[in-house]
Amino acid sequence: MVKSNKSQIDEYISEFNLDYNKRVLSSSMTKDKINKNISISGWLAKKRDHGNMIFIDVRDHKGIIQCIIDKNHEKFEEIEKLNVESVIWINGLATARPKESINEKIDSGYIEIKVDSFVILSKSETLPFALHQEDIGEEIRLKHRYIDLRREDLKNRIILRSNVISEMRSALEEKGFIEIHTPILTSSSPEGARDYLVPSRANKGKFYALPQAPQQFKQLLMVGGFNKYYQVAPCFRDEDSRADRTPGAFYQLDLEMSFVSQEDIFEIMEGLLYRIFSKFRSDVFSSKPPFKRIKYQDSLMLYGTDKPDLRIDLQYLDFTEFFVENTPKIFEQVLQDGGKILCLPVNNLSSKSRKFFDGMNDFARELGAKGLGYICLSPEKKGSMSKFLSDEVCNKIKEKADGAFFLAGKFSEIVKCMDPIIKKISKEMDLIKKDRYEFCWIIDYPMYEMDDNGKWDFSHNPFSMPQGGMSAFDLDPSEIKAYQYDIVCNGIELSSGAIRNHDLDIMYKAFDVAGYTKSEVDEKFSAITEAFKYGAPPHGGSAPGIDRIVMLLSDMQNIREVIPFPLNQSGQDLMMNAPSEIEESQLKDLGLQSIKED
């Protein structure tokens, strides 16, 4: 009969007198342990056979300890045959390493253990990949994530994540915030993504939704009289994967405050983010509060995006006015269509080759632009735009740089090209200022945007307060701004937030513009509309993404590298085989039927 693992461990403890409380960690293996009897345990990380002896590196969660076993030891052959990554227990005498073997880079680098007793706690089969191997496909890493997590760099990122969350909690609690956990099973909400739905067994035909964010709950906490709330909140959105977004769950530091203005929230957030980034990356420059504020429309005009990377010192200039009176033929149709002519000054452009400019033109065309003109002004005027630009225009460019690119067309079309062009140029010309975190706020978001059907819809959170309150609705919907804001770092959106709409009359009016009747609002958001009848304080908040913050702090380009057990790009958990089909009996309990696609 095969004994349970617990029985085997109990036998080990009895037979070999294993006392886990006396286990010494690698980080404690300092010179004062020399000539002392030591017990260690961990994974067999490496073996080096020198004929008369075997050197063993044992890895615990703190580091590496080197051990030596002589060929005369009764366990020599057993260790010789043992696979790496087996879990072992060793007892022996700690001795000083020979001078030539000292490793000053690790805590235990002055010591090695001469093995006396040796116990195999768990044998490992041959690994599907070596821990030091770099050319490993992501799929196999995710399938065996428990092995992948043993790799030093990934393990350190997960520890960093833990430390960041701990620091966040401390920072907020020092400011009087309290942690409150909100429900995971809730109702569907219009957060902009698809919901993950959970069928109810007790209420057949009805579904819960996993929260895309704790939006309504945190507002209801403010109505309930909790002045400052936060939680490390799991959020569930059925979205497609990309480098800075993983399907399934992500975590955000959700916070909300009562009786605050937009500036009050900025002050809290700026202090929090500066504290986190300056503590965990003290080697890198971080923007100090107050962070730069950029209006949404200005950000689009200057950078072509509401997520500008301020490490890149490039901005578009609107040169349309310079071509109104004397319009070159290439711009006639642009101006007739009400388009714009944008100039992007770039220093040292005159040093670039024709191949570079042709490549940039091809890149712009691939993005949907009609082309990307250029001019170089040093030492002489040359380039595809040279014969179309007046001295006035050239002198204007010289105030900024020695050359420039030109992009023209309807703004709604060329805006999609602007940010990729900036990023392409900055990469090709090495213009990104490395080793720095540049933060900015994007403010004054439009309350509404026109959808594909010509209908007004909310551009951000529907519960945001319009600037000007009820009087905002005297304006055309396209002109209404909201107290909505994003915080961006190095071109990555870390957080969205808003001052909330706490006035029911204003809320009904806001939803009316988006095509909702009062009864529809009451039906969809019954908890909010009912609660606001009984006194709702002005309130607002934000929710920085923890995964993205750790990704930035650890210089990772892929968000899955900072999540312990992420889904793959297709939203699958290869390790747990999820999602999976379920038994017919389970479907029956839920009142569901599986329909096979043809």
Nearest CA to 360 out of 415, 430, 423 is that of 423
**Annotated binding site for L-aspartate, which residues?**
191, 237, 460, 500
Asked whether 570 and 560 are in contact (CB, 8 A), the reply is no
- Kindly give the interhelix angle for 262-280 and 546-553, rounded to the nearest 10 degrees: 40
Q: What's the mean pLDDT in 45-72?
A: 93
The tens digit of pLDDT for each residue in 377-411 reads 999 999 999 999 999 999 999 999 999 999 999 99
Structure tokens at 137: 């496909």
329-339: pLDDT as tens digits: 999 999 999 99
Q: Is 426 helix (H, G, I), strand (E, B) or coil?
A: helix
| Distance in Å from the first CA to the final CA of the chain | 49
pLDDT for residue 219: 97
The domain ranges of the chain are: 11-122, 154-291+440-563, 312-432
CATH of 154-291+440-563, picked from 3.30.565.10, 3.30.930.10, 3.30.70.20, 3.20.20.80, is 3.30.930.10
Q: What band does 7 get if pLDDT is binned at 50, 70 and 90?
A: low
User: How far is it, in rounded angstroms, from Cα 215 to Cα 221?
Assistant: 10
Q: Where are the strands (E) in 213-321, listed by range?
A: 228-237, 248-258, 285-286, 292-295, 317-318
Phi, psi of 145 (to 5 degrees): -60, -30
183, 338, 376, 525, 567 from 220: Cα distances, Å: 12, 46, 59, 12, 32
Return the pLDDT at 13.
Answer: 54
339-367 per-position pLDDT tens digit: 999 999 999 999 999 999 999 999 999 99
Identity of the residue numbered 256: E
- 285 forms beta bridges with 436
Please give the structure tokens belonging to residue 543.
């929710």
Looking at per-residue confidence, does 146 or 7 come out higher?
146
Q: What angle do CA 361, 365, 370 make, to 5 degrees?
A: 95
Is there a contact between 499 and 261 (Cβ–Cβ < 8 Å)?
A: yes
Give yes or no for a cis peptide into 379 (omega within 30° of 0).
Answer: yes
d(CA 107, CA 63): 8
Query: What is the C-alpha to C-alpha distance for residues 289 and 596, in angstroms, rounded to an integer?
Result: 56
The answer, yes or no, to whether residue 260 has pLDDT greater than 80, is yes
> Number of helices (H) and strands (E), helices first, in the chain?
17, 23
What does the DSSP assignment read for 504-544? HHHHHHHHHHTT--HHHHHHHTHHHHHHGGG----EEEE--
Q: Would you put residue 486 in left (φ > 0), alpha (ψ -120 to 50) or beta?
A: beta
Going by C-alpha positions, the residue among 405, 381, 409 that lies closest to residue 395 is 381
**Is the confidence at residue 1, as pLDDT, over 50?**
no
Q: Which residues are annotated as a binding site for ATP?
A: 237-239, 493, 545-548
Mean pLDDT of the chain: 93
pLDDT band at 2 (very low <50, low <70, confident <90, very high): very low
CATH of 312-432, one of 3.30.950.10, 3.30.1360.30, 1.20.1330.10, 3.90.950.10: 3.30.1360.30
Q: What is the pLDDT confidence band of residue 51, given thresholds at 50, 70 and 90?
A: confident
Rounded-to-integer distance, Cα 412 and Cα 502, Å: 34
- Give the residue from 565, 550, 564, 569 showing the smallest Cα distance to 137: 569
Whether the CB-CB separation of 96 and 30 falls below 8 Å is answered with: no
Q: Does domain 11-122 have CATH number 3.90.950.20?
A: no
Query: Per residue in 188-218, pLDDT tens?
Result: 876 568 999 999 999 999 999 999 999 999 9
pLDDT tens for 547-596 read 999 999 999 999 999 999 999 999 999 999 999 999 999 999 999 988 88
Indicate the SS3 state at residue 174.
helix
Binding-site residues, in ranges, read 191, 237-239, 460, 493, 500, 545-548
Under DSSP, is residue 353 helix (H, G, I), strand (E, B) or coil?
Answer: coil
Q: Which of 120, 52, 118 has its CA nearest to residue 90?
A: 118
